């Protein structure tokens, strides 16, 4: 069966898998094997374990919907990160989110500095009076 | 002599300005391409979420949810999507003018509506004009739009709606038609009324985990987040397009000004040379 994971940034994952296990805080844990009944469910914070032969991947999902229909599973998530283990996937998510918050903060400071500098320059050159 | 130097200074300044506007034009062009691509890749996702929500509704025709019900409108919430920075031509002005007009036409007193703003321009405008504001500080509208930035606000609006603080939420934003044309548009975010409930056999076989109600309670906020994000992407795309066009015009104008100034400069130089020449000739004539 096929699984497609989509985030607002685009497609994250699109592969054939043998089985998946969905675990989420709100709905608990369940597995989906090929020819599972059509199902729609939501994930607030959780992960999906993807099994593909011997390979196992974990995808962390934030605010997502999962739909299975005729062996096509589509997951739409607000944020999704992939890793080799559950811990790694979560760590990935944490680090990326933290980096973004840090980046936003840094930018705010830089912007404020630049604005102050601009105002000082304008005063200095008397550009407003031209 | 002084006039000559003045003109020269002005030419230099104008050339520098045109370099800046040209750089800004190119930056906007690059950003526009990026945002436009994002906007395009997002469309199928938006559609997919919508289809899912419609599926849930179709399989449970009797399912009711407060976010889907229209009620008597006592108070309207407006969300204005503008930009953080200016120099984008008529972009912000058009949106704010439209909003002002709209308020004047539909509302008698300021108790009938409340405004939420995205972007610094709309925030300072509403503050200056003393419109009732929902957010106490400006919500930044960054160039690279991130889903996470607006989620908190989207949830705040939903809870305000559920508490019956407002009975309708309208978004006012600039829709991207193409690089040269952007249209100010309004779209009703809440209540959601345009979903189609249709009974088809493929849908009714779905299992909902844990229940249709629970799935819908989760799905509607996700749908709203998506709609809002889509609108903000749209607005952002038109902001870049508008800025690009404005900067292109500014560059063209600057070049035109430089051309005219050069003409003046050359004329002044010429006349100065003529004066000097007549002086010399006059002097030479006096000697002989």
- Domain CATH number, residue A97: 2.60.15.10
CB pairs under 8 A between A and B: 73
Residues of chain A contacting B, Cβ within 8 Å:
6-10, 26-27, 30, 37-42, 44, 63-65, 67, 69, 74, 76, 78-79, 97, 100, 104, 107-108
Domain count, chain A: 1
How close does chain A come to B42, measured CA to CA in Å?
Answer: 6
In three-state secondary structure terms, A75 is: strand
Please name the CATH architecture into which domain B41-244 falls: 3-Layer(aba) Sandwich (3.40)
Quick one: tokens of A8? 């607002």
How close does chain B come to A110, measured CA to CA in Å?
Answer: 14
- Rounded CA gap, B178 and B187, in Å? 19
Q: Is the dihedral of CA A115, A117, A120, A126 positive or negative?
A: negative
Residues of B in contact with A77 (CB under 8 A): none
Check A27 against B210: CB less than 8 A apart. Answer: yes
Check A8 against B209: CB less than 8 A apart. Answer: no
Q: What pLDDT shows up at residue B244? A: 93
Nearest to B155 by CA among B42, B73, B67: B67
Identify whether the C-beta of residue A79 lies closer than 8 Å to the C-beta of residue A51: no
DSSP B114-140: EEEEESHHHHHHHHHTTPPBS-SSPPP
Task: Select the highest-mean-pLDDT range: A69-83, B5-19, B57-71.
Answer: B5-19
Please give the mean pLDDT across all residues of chain A.
82
Q: Which residues contact B219 (CB under 8 A, 6 or more apart)?
A: A42, A65, B49, B52, B53, B56
pLDDT at A129 over 60: no
Does A84 fall in a domain? yes
Q: What pLDDT shows up at residue B29? A: 93
What are A65-109's pLDDT values in tens digits?
Answer: 888 888 888 888 888 888 887 787 778 778 877 887 787 778 777
What are A33-42's pLDDT values in tens digits?
Answer: 888 888 888 8
Which residue from B147, B206, B222 is facing A40, i.e. has the nearest CB? B206
Which one has a higher pLDDT value, B88 or B248? B248
Identify whether the C-beta of residue A17 lies closer than 8 Å to the C-beta of residue A1: yes
Does A130 fall in a domain? no
Nearest to B171 by CA among B119, B129, B110: B119
Q: What pLDDT shows up at residue B50? A: 85
Which one has a higher pLDDT value, B208 or B127? B127
Domain locations along chain B = 41-244
Q: What pLDDT shows up at residue B260? A: 93
Task: Select the highest-mean-pLDDT range: A8-12, A26-30, B225-229.
Answer: B225-229
pLDDT at B95 over 80: yes
Domain ranges, residue A83: 2-125
Residues of B in contact with A20 (CB under 8 A): none
Q: How far is CA A49 from CA A31, A95, B171, in A?
A: 9, 20, 39
pLDDT at B106 over 80: yes
- In this prediction, residue A130 has a pLDDT band, given cuts at 50, 70 and 90, of very low
Query: Mutate which of B44, B45, B54 to disrupt the A interface (most A C-beta within 10 Å)?
Result: B45
Query: Mutate which of A65, A97, A107 to disrupt the B interface (most B C-beta within 10 Å)?
Result: A65
Query: Mutate which of A7, A8, A127 to disrupt the B interface (most B C-beta within 10 Å)?
Result: A8
What are B23-47's pLDDT values in tens digits?
Answer: 999 999 999 999 998 888 888 888 8
Does A25 fall in a domain? yes
Peptide bond into B191 cis (omega under 30): yes
Check B147 against A26: CB less than 8 A apart. Answer: no
Which one has a higher pLDDT value, B202 or A83? A83
What are B134-181's pLDDT values in tens digits?
Answer: 877 777 777 777 776 777 777 788 888 888 888 888 999 999 988 888
What are A60-72's pLDDT values in tens digits?
Answer: 888 888 888 888 8
Which one has a higher pLDDT value, B195 or B251? B251
Q: What pLDDT shows up at residue B204? A: 56
Question: Phi then psi for B81, rounded to 5 degrees?
Answer: -105, 115
- In this prediction, residue B217 has a pLDDT band, given cuts at 50, 70 and 90, of confident
DSSP B180: S
Q: What pLDDT shows up at residue B239? A: 92
Which residue from A8, A39, A64 is facing B147, i.e. has the nearest CB? A8
- Rounded CA gap, A62 and A42, in Å? 10
Strand order in the sheet with B168-176: B113-118, B76-81, B168-176, B182-190
Q: What pLDDT shows up at residue B198? A: 65
CA–centroid distance for A110 within its chain: 27
Does A86 fall in a domain? yes
Does A95 fall in a domain? yes
- Chain A residue closest to B142 (CA)? A104
Q: What is the ipTM of this complex?
A: 0.71
In three-state secondary structure terms, B84 is: coil
């Amino acid at each position: 069966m096929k699984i497609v994971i989509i985030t607002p940034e685009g497609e994250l994952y699109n592969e054939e898998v043998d089985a998946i296990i969905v675990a989420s805080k709100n709905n608990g844990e369940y597995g989906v094997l090929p020819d599972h009944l059509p199902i729609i469910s939501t994930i607030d914070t959780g992960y999906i374990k993807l099994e593909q032969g011997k390979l196992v991947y974990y995808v962390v999902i934030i605010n997502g919907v999962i739909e299975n229909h005729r062996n096509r599973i589509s997951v739409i998530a607000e944020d999704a990160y992939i890793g080799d283990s559950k811990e790694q996937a979560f760590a990935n998510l944490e680090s990326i989110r933290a980096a973004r918050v840090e980046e936003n903060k840094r930018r705010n400071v830089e912007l404020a500095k630049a604005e102050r500098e601009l105002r000082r320059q304008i005063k200095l050159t008397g550009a407003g009076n031209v | 002599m002084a006039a000559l130097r003045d003109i020269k200074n002005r030419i230099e300044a104008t050339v520098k300005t045109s370099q800046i506007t040209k750089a800004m034009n190119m930056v906007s062009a690059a950003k526009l391409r990026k945002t436009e691509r994002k906007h395009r890749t997002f469309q199928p996702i938006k559609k997919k979420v919508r289809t899912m929500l419609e599926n849930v509704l179709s399989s449970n025709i009797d399912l009711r949810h407060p976010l889907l019900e229209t009620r008597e409108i006592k108070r309207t919430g407006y969300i204005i999507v503008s930009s953080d920075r200016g120099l984008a031509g008529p972009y912000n002005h058009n949106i704010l003018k439209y909003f002002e007009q709209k308020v004047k036409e539909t509302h008698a007193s300021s108790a009938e509506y409340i405004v939420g703003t995205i972007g610094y321009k709309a925030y300072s405008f509403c503050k200056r004009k003393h419109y009732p504001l929902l957010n106490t500080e400006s919500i930044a509208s960054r160039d690279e739009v991130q889903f996470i930035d607006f989620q908190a606000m989207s949830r705040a609006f939903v809870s305000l709606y559920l508490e019956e603080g407002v009975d309708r939420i309208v978004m006012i934003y600039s829709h991207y038609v193409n690089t040269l044309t952007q249209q100010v548009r309004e779209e009703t975010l809440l209540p959601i009324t345009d979903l189609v409930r249709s009974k088809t056999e493929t849908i009714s076989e779905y299992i909902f985990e844990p229940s249709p109600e629970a799935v819908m309670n989760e799905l509607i906020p996700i749908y709203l987040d998506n709609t809002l994000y889509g609108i903000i992407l749209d607005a952002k795309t038109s902001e870049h397009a508008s800025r690009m066009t404005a900067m292109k015009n500014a560059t063209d104008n600057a070049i035109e000004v430089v051309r005219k100034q050069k003409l003046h400069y050359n004329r002044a130089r010429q006349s100065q040379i003529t004066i000097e020449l007549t002086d010399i000739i006059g002097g030479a004539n006096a000697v002989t």
